[in-house]
Amino acid sequence: MMKNKNLAIIIAVVVISIIISAIIAGAIFTSPKNRRDKVPVVQVINSNFPDATNDSAYTSFFNDKALDPTQLIQIGTSQNETPFNSQ
Protein backbone atom coordinates (compact mmCIF):
# COMPACT_ATOMS: atom_id res chain seq x y z
CA MET A 1 0.00 0.00 0.00
CA MET A 2 1.02 3.56 -0.65
CA LYS A 3 1.65 5.89 2.20
CA ASN A 4 0.03 9.28 2.29
CA LYS A 5 3.44 10.90 1.90
CA ASN A 6 4.08 9.04 -1.38
CA LEU A 7 0.61 9.91 -2.68
CA ALA A 8 1.15 13.60 -1.90
CA ILE A 9 4.51 13.57 -3.74
CA ILE A 10 2.94 11.92 -6.81
CA ILE A 11 0.08 14.44 -6.89
CA ALA A 12 2.54 17.33 -6.50
CA VAL A 13 4.69 16.04 -9.38
CA VAL A 14 1.62 15.61 -11.62
CA VAL A 15 0.35 19.13 -10.86
CA ILE A 16 3.77 20.70 -11.47
CA SER A 17 4.23 18.77 -14.75
CA ILE A 18 0.76 19.89 -15.93
CA ILE A 19 1.63 23.52 -15.21
CA ILE A 20 5.01 23.28 -16.95
CA SER A 21 3.55 21.53 -20.00
CA ALA A 22 0.75 24.13 -20.24
CA ILE A 23 3.31 26.95 -20.18
CA ILE A 24 5.49 25.29 -22.84
CA ALA A 25 2.49 24.47 -25.06
CA GLY A 26 1.23 28.04 -24.73
CA ALA A 27 4.62 29.37 -25.78
CA ILE A 28 4.86 27.04 -28.77
CA PHE A 29 1.32 27.00 -30.13
CA THR A 30 0.12 30.56 -29.61
CA SER A 31 -0.81 32.33 -32.81
CA PRO A 32 1.09 35.46 -33.76
CA LYS A 33 -0.50 38.79 -32.94
CA ASN A 34 0.03 40.16 -36.45
CA ARG A 35 -2.93 38.90 -38.47
CA ARG A 36 -2.40 41.08 -41.52
CA ASP A 37 -0.78 38.45 -43.70
CA LYS A 38 -1.41 38.58 -47.42
CA VAL A 39 -3.02 35.49 -48.89
CA PRO A 40 -2.65 34.75 -52.61
CA VAL A 41 -5.92 34.78 -54.52
CA VAL A 42 -6.57 32.11 -57.13
CA GLN A 43 -8.10 33.17 -60.43
CA VAL A 44 -11.53 31.85 -61.29
CA ILE A 45 -11.48 28.84 -63.61
CA ASN A 46 -13.37 29.51 -66.81
CA SER A 47 -15.40 26.69 -68.32
CA ASN A 48 -14.82 27.94 -71.89
CA PHE A 49 -11.69 26.40 -73.35
CA PRO A 50 -9.76 28.28 -76.03
CA ASP A 51 -9.43 26.99 -79.57
CA ALA A 52 -5.76 25.99 -79.39
CA THR A 53 -5.47 25.00 -83.03
CA ASN A 54 -6.64 28.31 -84.45
CA ASP A 55 -5.65 30.80 -81.75
CA SER A 56 -2.35 32.58 -82.47
CA ALA A 57 -1.48 32.77 -78.77
CA TYR A 58 -0.95 28.99 -78.67
CA THR A 59 1.21 28.58 -81.79
CA SER A 60 4.39 29.37 -79.84
CA PHE A 61 4.28 26.18 -77.78
CA PHE A 62 2.16 23.81 -79.89
CA ASN A 63 4.00 22.05 -82.70
CA ASP A 64 1.73 21.73 -85.74
CA LYS A 65 4.12 19.20 -87.35
CA ALA A 66 4.02 16.79 -84.39
CA LEU A 67 2.34 13.41 -84.55
CA ASP A 68 -1.22 13.27 -83.31
CA PRO A 69 -1.43 10.40 -80.80
CA THR A 70 -5.21 10.22 -81.19
CA GLN A 71 -4.99 9.20 -84.84
CA LEU A 72 -4.78 5.56 -85.92
CA ILE A 73 -1.41 4.79 -87.46
CA GLN A 74 -1.18 1.69 -89.64
CA ILE A 75 2.23 0.26 -90.45
CA GLY A 76 2.28 -1.90 -93.57
CA THR A 77 -0.61 -3.14 -95.73
CA SER A 78 -1.85 -6.06 -93.63
CA GLN A 79 -5.64 -6.31 -93.40
CA ASN A 80 -5.58 -9.03 -90.72
CA GLU A 81 -8.03 -8.07 -87.95
CA THR A 82 -6.70 -10.70 -85.52
CA PRO A 83 -2.91 -10.68 -85.90
CA PHE A 84 -2.21 -12.94 -82.90
CA ASN A 85 -4.72 -15.63 -83.77
CA SER A 86 -3.02 -18.93 -84.68
CA GLN A 87 -5.36 -19.72 -87.61
Residue 53 lies in a domain: no
Domain count for the chain:
1
* pLDDT > 70 in the chain, percent: 90
Contact predicate 11/19, CB 8 Å: no
CA–CA separation, 59 and 53 (whole Å): 8
Residue 13 lies in a domain: yes
- Residue type present at position 10: I
Residue 5 lies in a domain: yes
Residue 79 lies in a domain: no
Residue 18 lies in a domain: yes
| Cα 79 → chain centroid | 48
Round the CA-based radius of gyration of the chain to a whole number and report it. Answer: 37
User: What is the average pLDDT across 65-81?
Assistant: 77
What pLDDT does residue 18 have?
Answer: 96
The whole domain housing 18 covers 1-26
Residue 21 has pLDDT above 90, yes or no: yes
User: pLDDT digit string (tens) for 29-71?
Assistant: 876 666 677 888 988 888 887 777 777 777 777 777 777 778 7
What pLDDT does residue 19 have?
Answer: 97
CA angle 72, 73, 76 (to 5 degrees): 135
Residues with Cβ within 8 Å of residue 73, at least 6 apart in sequence = 67
CA–CA separation, 4 and 10 (whole Å): 10
Residue 62 lies in a domain: no
Residue 12 lies in a domain: yes
* pLDDT > 90 in the chain, percent: 20
Predicted TM-score (pTM) of the model is 0.35
Residue 66 lies in a domain: no
